[in-house]
Copies of this chain bind each other. A is one copy, B any other.
Amino acid sequence: MDKKVAEHVAEVLKTLAHPARLEIIELLETKEMCVGDIVTALGVKQAITSQQLNMMKDKGVLSCRRNGTKVYYRIENKSVIRLLHCIYDHCKTKKP
């Protein structure tokens, strides 16, 4: 693994390495959701949620569409779902 690849992989991991962002991705795994519903589901403040959503959009993980006053987010990079499942498996099988 050369430096460039390592930096890229580290970037991807940093994008996911936050509790709220992990929960957002899980919420969006099977459906798109508007910001307000995500805020409610997470119990996290609106500004923070908006910042995290925007951050993940910048990184290409999410995308969004506006419908009236609401903005619906969805997973743009589907392979993060598979990646997260690997990570959950890892965390389950870590101890033994």
Report A22-81 residues with CB < 8 Å from chain B CB: 22-23, 26, 77, 79-80
**Interface SS, A side:** helix
Q: Which residues of B contact A83 (CB under 8 A)?
A: 86-87, 90
Oligomer: number of copies: 2
Chain A interface extent, by class? 20 to 34
Chain B min CB distance to A49 (Å): 14
Instruction: Please name the residue on chain B nearest to A92 by beta carbon.
Output: B79
Q: Which residues of B sit under 8 angstroms from A6, Cβ to Cβ?
A: 19-20, 22-23
Residues of A within 8 A of B (CB): 1, 3, 5-10, 12-14, 16-23, 26, 77, 79-80, 82-83, 86-88, 90-91, 93-94
